[in-house]
């Protein structure tokens, strides 16, 4: 596949022609976007996408087995064509990285030209078809007839083809719905990202939502900026009973610590109730000036204000908001057929049932651990298995590259 | 309070690994010394592993919840990858390289004790976290090396001393680095499916990883179709590494990254 000097637009086509064709495809896509006022490529659903996909595969096979001598088909499985398709993808990805996506602000130029919804735009879709055609034809050409020597090539190319093919064709069938659960309410519907309601054959009930938190910290705060002094994470002390620690010339002692408390007259009392927050009584002693300051600190909650005290003109003592360790929902699950079961949903621990995968994604952050709302995401993706096969082929292909990578020896 | 004992373990491992790197690099022609270097590198791994086990027992939970703790796992797994590639593939330099990166992680932990207790947000508490980051670290380091050799290569081209050895080294680094980059990317996709419901959401970090990945793919195709055109290939590696740096550090500063799942400082 090396090229000598030859006139432009004579077969075999080189890089110049390939890039010109790619730019032409991009311009066509943008033109369609503008003509349709930035409507984007329509999303396909079963069975349309499946039929289109099978048709596409049939065309690729047809091109390979009956027209492989055709110069245009040969170009489609050449490195210059691949390079131009990849470069065009890089261009769209760069636009994606710099132009804010799916912003709601009216009919801007970038919206009309499809730049603010790149991944669903005509230009991206045309690029995708071009890319899958080139990658598909190249793969077939290289691996038919089957040959063990091309196993690495096959895994990397066919794996990528399958993952991209199934991922993009199936994107219309993927359902990602949000269910907003209130404690003890059975909910049979969920919302999509356009806030449309979908009725479901399954229902969820929130038995309980809770957050486990790490212990809060004493934060030595700069009075002028209200941030941690010197921006140094060292100026945080984990609060436990009777902890003593020295920072910035002061010695801090945790005299009392309640992990759940409410203000009571001038004091704090331990109590587990809605809106309670951790509170600690701190003694601070300055070694150099022999000065002692003491008082309550709390990070507060949606029901009570934060409390802190000054050490001197420069710094104060405050309490950092405890960081969440884990948040989880105890869920009761129902189906229309009368099936009932219970499970716990937690971040990074989704639950799979009846063709759905359920995720804990959010809660009422203003109310923190007292939140009575839990947001559960329900995901259905019938094409996932094909994408996963592609991903695992690519993983195997990566291992292959690792193995041959150390054995490269060139001779000019 | 087991972290108090950390410097003793870490410094022991660092000394063992430095000794192993020296033996492996300068005295590997003698078979006995070569074996000796392997043995001490292995003892270093055991030292770090013992610390992990002791910490695990003291904390009564897997030590995977703080930044400091995750670095221990990197320092543990990196030389293991090195030793496996040594035995399976006879990559000698790669073992030294993994030990070096592991030493860097131990040093970061030694110098920043405040991260021992810096807690991980729930989204990061996953068995995917350590493998995802470990392979990326390896890949970043290899791609950095490849970009440096590419700059050297461009200079050699100017003074007409570019040779096959430089080119072979660059290709090896890029092949192995790309393999790890791909694994990191795909582990990320599999993890994302578990944590966020979708394997690919064009999150800014993913977008930049995609751009980087594609640039290296361009490199392979250029090397395959135009093996004599070294100059563009070298420049591609330099561009690839720049986008990799944006992906690694820069994403947090981009306006489009405000909703990224990869900006962890929001906690």
- The predicted structure's pLDDT at residue A298: 94
In angstroms, the CA B110 to CA A343 distance is: 41
Helix A384-405 × helix A151-169 angle, to 10°: 150
- pLDDT tens-digit profile of A74-96? 999 999 999 999 999 999 999 99
Residues ≥6 apart with Cβ < 8 Å to A215: A238, A239, A240, A259, A278, A322
What is the phi/psi pair of residue B127, to 5°?
-60, -15
Task: Give percent of chain A above pLDDT 70.
Answer: 95
In angstroms, the CA B51 to CA B53 distance is: 5
Residue range B113-139: mean pLDDT, rounded: 81
User: What confidence category does residue A148 fall into, taking pLDDT thresholds of 50, 70 and 90?
Assistant: confident
What is the phi/psi pair of residue A250, to 5°?
-115, 145
Highest mean pLDDT among A161-165, A350-354, B57-61, B76-80: A161-165
In angstroms, the CA A164 to CA A171 distance is: 10
Q: Choose among B126, B167, B171: nearest Cβ to A348.
A: B126
Q: Residue B57, SS3?
A: helix
A104 burial via Cβ count (<10 Å: 0-12, 13-18, 19+): exposed
Residue range B156-184: mean pLDDT, rounded: 90
Q: Is pLDDT at A2 greater than 50 in this prediction?
A: no
In chain A, whose CA is at the least distance from the CA of B66? A325
Does the beta-carbon distance from B215 to A90 stay under 8 Å?
Answer: yes
Q: Is pLDDT at A234 greater than 80 in this prediction?
A: no
Task: Give percent of chain A above pLDDT 90.
Answer: 64
Q: Residue A226, SS3?
A: coil
Set of chain A residues whose Cβ sits within 8 Å of the Cβ of B217: 86
Run of H or E including B189? helix B164-196
- The predicted structure's pLDDT at residue A412: 45
Q: In this predicted model, which residue has the larger pLDDT, A321 or B42?
A: B42
Q: Is pLDDT at B208 greater than 90 in this prediction?
A: yes
Set of chain B residues whose Cβ sits within 8 Å of the Cβ of A403: 89
Residues ≥6 apart with Cβ < 8 Å to B158: none
User: What confidence category does residue B210 fall into, taking pLDDT thresholds of 50, 70 and 90?
Assistant: very high
CB neighbours of residue B249 within 10 Å: 9
Residue range A360-386: mean pLDDT, rounded: 89
CB neighbours of residue B120 within 10 Å: 20
CB A231 within 8 A of CB A359: no
Residue range A197-207: mean pLDDT, rounded: 95
Q: Is pLDDT at B84 greater than 50 in this prediction?
A: yes
Q: Choose among B126, B190, B197: nearest Cβ to A176.
A: B197
Q: Is pLDDT at B159 greater than 80 in this prediction?
A: yes
Residues ≥6 apart with Cβ < 8 Å to B214: A86, A89, A90, A93
Q: Residue B39, SS3?
A: helix
- pLDDT tens-digit profile of B223-236? 999 988 899 999 99
Q: CA quadruple B149, B150, B154, B157: dihedral positive or negative?
A: positive
Strand partners, A331: A206, A343
In angstroms, the CA A123 to CA A351 distance is: 37
- The predicted structure's pLDDT at residue A145: 78
Q: Residue A22, SS3?
A: helix
Q: In angstroms, what separates the C-alpha of A347 from chain B's closest C-alpha? A: 6
User: What confidence category does residue A100 fall into, taking pLDDT thresholds of 50, 70 and 90?
Assistant: confident
User: What confidence category does residue B267 fall into, taking pLDDT thresholds of 50, 70 and 90?
Assistant: very low
Set of chain A residues whose Cβ sits within 8 Å of the Cβ of B91: 406
Does the beta-carbon distance from A96 to B207 stay under 8 Å?
Answer: yes
Average confidence score pLDDT of chain A: 90
- The predicted structure's pLDDT at residue A104: 62
Does the beta-carbon distance from A83 to B115 stay under 8 Å?
Answer: no
Size of interface A-B (CB pairs under 8 A): 148
In angstroms, the CA A89 to CA A155 distance is: 21
In angstroms, the CA B228 to CA B205 distance is: 34
Q: Is pLDDT at A174 greater than 80 in this prediction?
A: yes
- The predicted structure's pLDDT at residue A1: 42
Rounded to the nearest 10°, the torsion over CA A97, A102, A108, A112 is 90
Q: Please give the full DSSP string across A86-130, using - where no structure is assigned.
A: HHHHHHHHHHHHHSPPS---SS-HHHHTTGGGGGGSHHHHHHHHH
- Residue B220: which of A6, A12, A157, A387 has the closest Cα? A157
Q: Is pLDDT at B27 greater than 60 in this prediction?
A: yes
In angstroms, the CA A364 to CA A368 distance is: 6
Question: What ipTM goes with this model?
Answer: 0.84
- The predicted structure's pLDDT at residue B88: 72
- The predicted structure's pLDDT at residue A6: 67
Residue range B175-203: mean pLDDT, rounded: 94
Does the beta-carbon distance from B121 to A394 stay under 8 Å?
Answer: no
User: What confidence category does residue A52 fall into, taking pLDDT thresholds of 50, 70 and 90?
Assistant: very high
Set of chain B residues whose Cβ sits within 8 Å of the Cβ of A381: 198
CB B106 within 8 A of CB B99: no
- The predicted structure's pLDDT at residue A409: 67
Q: In this predicted model, which residue has the larger pLDDT, B199 or A213?
A: B199
Does the beta-carbon distance from B168 to A408 stay under 8 Å?
Answer: yes
Q: Residue A173, SS3?
A: coil
Residue range B151-167: mean pLDDT, rounded: 87
In angstroms, the CA A5 to CA A138 distance is: 24
* Range scoring the smallest mean pLDDT among A169-173, A355-359, B80-84, B258-262: B258-262
- The predicted structure's pLDDT at residue B259: 57
Q: What are the residue boundaries of the structural domains of chain A, listed by start? A: 15-144, 175-211+325-380, 215-322
The residue of A12, A79, A85, A93 whose CB has the most chain B CBs within 10 angstroms, and thus the best one to mutate to test that interface, is A93
Set of chain B residues whose Cβ sits within 8 Å of the Cβ of A384: 193
Does the beta-carbon distance from A406 to B89 stay under 8 Å?
Answer: yes
Does the beta-carbon distance from A101 to B202 stay under 8 Å?
Answer: yes
DSSP A364: -
Residue range B194-198: mean pLDDT, rounded: 89
Q: Name the architecture of domain A175-211+325-380.
A: Sandwich (2.60)
User: What confidence category does residue A410 fall into, taking pLDDT thresholds of 50, 70 and 90?
Assistant: low
- Residue A394: which of B186, B93, B72, B267 has the closest Cα? B186
- Residue A394: which of B184, B212, B203, B171 has the closest Cα? B184
Residue range A310-321: mean pLDDT, rounded: 91
Does the beta-carbon distance from A323 to B254 stay under 8 Å?
Answer: no
- Which long-range contacts (C-beta less than 8 Å, at least 24 apart) are formed by A355-364? A355/A380, A356/A202, A356/A380, A357/B197, A358/A204, A358/A331, A359/B195, A359/B196, A359/B197, A360/A327, A360/A328, A360/A329, A361/A178, A361/B196, A361/B197, A363/A209, A363/A211, A363/A327
pTM here?
A: 0.84
CB neighbours of residue A356 within 10 Å: 20
Does the beta-carbon distance from A238 to B199 stay under 8 Å?
Answer: no
Residues ≥6 apart with Cβ < 8 Å to A256: A241, A280, A281
In angstroms, the CA A111 to CA A103 distance is: 9
């Amino acid at each position: 596949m090396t090229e000598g000097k030859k006139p432009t637009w004579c077969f075999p086509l080189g890089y110049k022609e390939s890039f010109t064709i790619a730019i032409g495809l991009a311009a066509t896509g943008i033109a369609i976007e503008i003509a349709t006022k930035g409507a984007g490529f329509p999303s396909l659903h079963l069975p349309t996408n499946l039929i289109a996909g099978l048709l596409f595969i049939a065309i690729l096979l047809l091109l390979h087995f009956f027209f492989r001598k055709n110069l245009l088909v040969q170009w489609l499985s050449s490195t210059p064509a691949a390079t131009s398709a990849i470069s065009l993808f890089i261009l769209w990805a760069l636009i994606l990285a710099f132009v804010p996506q799916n912003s709601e602000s009216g009919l801007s130029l970038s919206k009309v030209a499809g730049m603010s919804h790149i991944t669903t735009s005509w230009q991206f879709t045309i690029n995708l078809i071009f890319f899958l055609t080139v990658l598909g034809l190249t793969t077939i050409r290289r691996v038919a007839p089957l040959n063990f020597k091309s196993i690495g090539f096959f895994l990397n190319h066919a794996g990528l083809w399958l993952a991209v093919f199934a991922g993009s064709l199936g994107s219309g069938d993927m359902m990602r719905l949000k269910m907003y659960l209130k404690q003890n309410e059975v909910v049979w519907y969920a919302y999509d990202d356009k806030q449309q309601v979908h009725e479901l054959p399954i229902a969820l009930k929130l038995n309980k939502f809770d957050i486990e938190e790490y212990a809060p910290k004493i934060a030595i705060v700069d009075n002028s900026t209200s941030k941690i002094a010197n921006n140094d994470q060292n100026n945080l002390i984990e609060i436990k009973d009777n902890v003593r620690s020295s920072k910035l010339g002061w010695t801090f002692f945790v005299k009392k610590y309640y992990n759940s408390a409410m203000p009571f007259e001038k004091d704090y009392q331990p109590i587990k109730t809605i809106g309670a927050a951790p509170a600690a009584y701190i003694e601070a002693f300055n070694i150099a000036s022999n000065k002692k300051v003491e008082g309550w600190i709390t990070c507060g909650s949606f029901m009570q204000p934060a409390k802190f005290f000054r050490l001197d003109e420069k710094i104060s003592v405050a309490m950092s908001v405890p960081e969440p360790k884990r948040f989880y929902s105890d869920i009761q699950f129902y189906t229309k057929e009368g099936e009932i079961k219970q499970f716990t949903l937690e971040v990074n621990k989704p639950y799979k049932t009846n063709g759905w995968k359920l995720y804990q994604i959010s809660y009422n952050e203003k109310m923190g651990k007292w939140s009575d709302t839990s947001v559960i995401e329900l995901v259905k993706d019938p094409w996932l298995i094909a994408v996963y096969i592609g991903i695992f082929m690519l993983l195997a292909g990566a291992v292959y590259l690792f193995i041959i990578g150390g054995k490269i020896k060139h001779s000019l | 309070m087991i972290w108090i004992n950390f410097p003793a373990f870490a410094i022991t491992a660092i000394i063992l690994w430095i000794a192993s790197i020296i033996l492996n690099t300068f005295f590997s022609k003698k078979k006995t010394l070569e074996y000796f270097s392997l043995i001490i590198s292995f003892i270093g791994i055991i030292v770090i592993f013992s610390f992990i086990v002791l910490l695990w027992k003291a904390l009564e939970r897997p030590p995977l919840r703080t930044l400091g703790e995750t670095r221990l796992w990197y320092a543990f797994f990196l030389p293991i990858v090195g030793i496996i590639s040594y035995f399976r593939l006879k990559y000698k330099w790669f073992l030294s390289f993994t030990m070096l990166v592991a030493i860097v992680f131990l040093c970061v932990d030694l110098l920043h004790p405040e991260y021992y207790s810096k807690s991980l947000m729930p989204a990061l508490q996953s068995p995917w976290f350590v493998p995802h980051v470990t392979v990326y670290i390896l890949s970043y380091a290899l791609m950095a090396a490849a970009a440096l050799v590419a700059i050297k290569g461009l200079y050699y081209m100017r003074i007409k001393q570019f040779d096959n050895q430089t080119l072979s080294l660059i290709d090896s680094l890029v092949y192995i680095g790309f393999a790890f980059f791909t694994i990191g990317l795909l582990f990320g996709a599999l993890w994302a499916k578990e944590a966020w419901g979708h394997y690919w959401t064009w999150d800014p970090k993913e977008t930049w990883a995609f751009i980087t990945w594609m640039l290296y793919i361009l490199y392979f195709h250029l090397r395959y179709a135009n093996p004599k055109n070294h100059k563009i290939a070298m420049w591609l590696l330099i561009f690839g590494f720049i986008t990799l740096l944006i992906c690694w550090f820069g994403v947090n500063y981009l306006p489009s990254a405000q909703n990224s799942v990869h900006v962890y400082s929001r906690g």
